Chain A
């Protein structure tokens, strides 16, 4: 598969949130304001790309070499948890400003299923290292795009008059449903 197809597919066609349904918790949880949504998507992009590459290396050079394929889930989730911790410490030490804007989102990323999802999918699709890197980044950007757009809509919803029963999650889910419908239009793109 060409890299271009991977990028388009990761961002639009197989959008992680709206078509693969991965990473819904932060999508619903951290999308009340565009600013925080943007911060979250930045943190996720960073961690997801790094996690995709490191788990690929772990799979190719450790698990497959040792015939420990069944340790995949345990290894990947530990690698991701350690990576998130490490990134948090590094950012805190070297860039307190960046830490202030991203720091609070980092612990949430460990249980963001999009991160583990991209790691497993890279292996399933039998991607090489370059494809893995591109796919992880593109998928993360797709996640970011969805959550920022969603937050934009939710900011406006705050100002509108919504029936009592639909306030909160229901109206958010309807919005997500309509966005998912819209993204369905990209399905025939490649």
Chain B
């Protein structure tokens, strides 16, 4: 497959969050601020690239029967490495993401990419696929994070942007707000795709 096509697929046409609607737990849980969403996205991207590359390298040596356990071990290893790096060098982010950092292991996006792409394609294509899906995920989380932080806290990436008398709607940064904002975004997305289909 054409690598440019692979790249665009992951970010837009087959965006993990807006099109495939998978990996919802971190999407909803850590998108309460732009920084958290962005940080989580990058951490997941790093894991995705690493696991896609290794799984693609091992694909000839991996027996079909135990491919899932092997995927899981590879993914869990990368998750733990990223977790330690984030803890050592980005301590505030580590504390903000909390339990959702180790939970990248069970992020369906990563296992799905391993199974659907890396196990069948070359190392380079798999790396591109990991990068693009990771960036698509990061994009979605950052958009959600910016919107929720803007309305829920009146700021973007920690900088206050709303006027002085703006009273933040704190419900937006809570779980209920996460469901709500994602619902609205998906509805808008489906309006656009529906229009395209009818034209």
Inter-subunit contact A169/B21 (CB<8 Å): yes
Taking Cβ atoms with an 8 Å cutoff, the residues of B that contact A are 21-25, 28-29, 68-69, 72-73, 76-77, 79-80, 83-84, 99, 102-103, 105-108, 111, 171, 174-180, 182-184, 186-188, 190-191, 194
- For the A-B complex, the count of residue pairs with Cβ-Cβ distances under 8 Å equals 117
Contact mask for chain A residues 30-64; partner B; CB cutoff 8 A; 1 contact, 0 none = 00000000000000000000000000000000000
Q: Of all chain B residues, which has the CB nearest A178?
A: B176
Cα of A170 to Cα of B21 in the assembled complex, Å: 11
**Smallest CB–CB gap between B40 and chain A, Å?**
13
Cα of A24 to Cα of B182 in the assembled complex, Å: 13
CB contacts (< 8 Å) of A110 on chain B: these are: 72, 106
- Per a CB cutoff under 8 Å, which of A25, A74, A78, A171 touches B183? A171
Determine chain A's interface SS by DSSP, over half rule.
helix
CB contacts (< 8 Å) of A168 on chain B: these are: 190
Interface residues on A, range: 35 or more
**Smallest CB–CB gap between A181 and chain B, Å?**
4
Cα of A173 to Cα of B177 in the assembled complex, Å: 10
A3 at the interface (CB under 8 A from B): no
Q: A24-B25, A73-B79, A77-B72 are in contact. Are A117 and B176 (CB under 8 A)?
A: no
Q: Of all chain A residues, which has the CB nearest B190?
A: A165
Taking Cβ atoms with an 8 Å cutoff, the residues of A that contact B are 18-25, 28, 70-74, 77-78, 81-82, 110-113, 115-117, 120-121, 124, 164-174, 176-178, 180-181, 184
Inter-subunit contact A177/B22 (CB<8 Å): no
CB contacts (< 8 Å) of B191 on chain A: these are: 165
Cα of A187 to Cα of B54 in the assembled complex, Å: 44
Q: A116-B103, A121-B99, A178-B176 are in contact. Are A25 and B24 (CB under 8 A)?
A: yes
CB contacts (< 8 Å) of B107 on chain A: these are: 113
CB contacts (< 8 Å) of A73 on chain B: these are: 76, 79-80, 83, 102, 105
CB contacts (< 8 Å) of B180 on chain A: these are: 173-174, 177
Inter-subunit contact A78/B190 (CB<8 Å): no
Inter-subunit contact B102/A81 (CB<8 Å): no
- Per a CB cutoff under 8 Å, which of B69, B105, B182, B187 touches A116? B105
Inter-subunit contact B77/A74 (CB<8 Å): yes
Q: Of all chain A residues, which has the CB nearest B21?
A: A169
**Smallest CB–CB gap between B165 and chain A, Å?**
26
**Smallest CB–CB gap between B169 and chain A, Å?**
13
**Smallest CB–CB gap between A175 and chain B, Å?**
8
Q: A18-B175, A23-B25, A173-B179 are in contact. Are A74 and B76 (CB under 8 A)?
A: yes
- Per a CB cutoff under 8 Å, which of A24, A81, A121, A170 touches B186? A170
Cα of A116 to Cα of B190 in the assembled complex, Å: 32
**Smallest CB–CB gap between B63 and chain A, Å?**
16
Cα of A74 to Cα of B104 in the assembled complex, Å: 12
Q: A116-B103, A165-B191 are in contact. Are A21 and B178 (CB under 8 A)?
A: yes
Q: Of all chain A residues, which has the CB nearest B22?
A: A25
**Smallest CB–CB gap between A128 and chain B, Å?**
20
Cα of A180 to Cα of B28 in the assembled complex, Å: 12
Cα of A116 to Cα of B99 in the assembled complex, Å: 10
Q: A73-B105, A111-B106 are in contact. Are A21 and B25 (CB under 8 A)?
A: yes
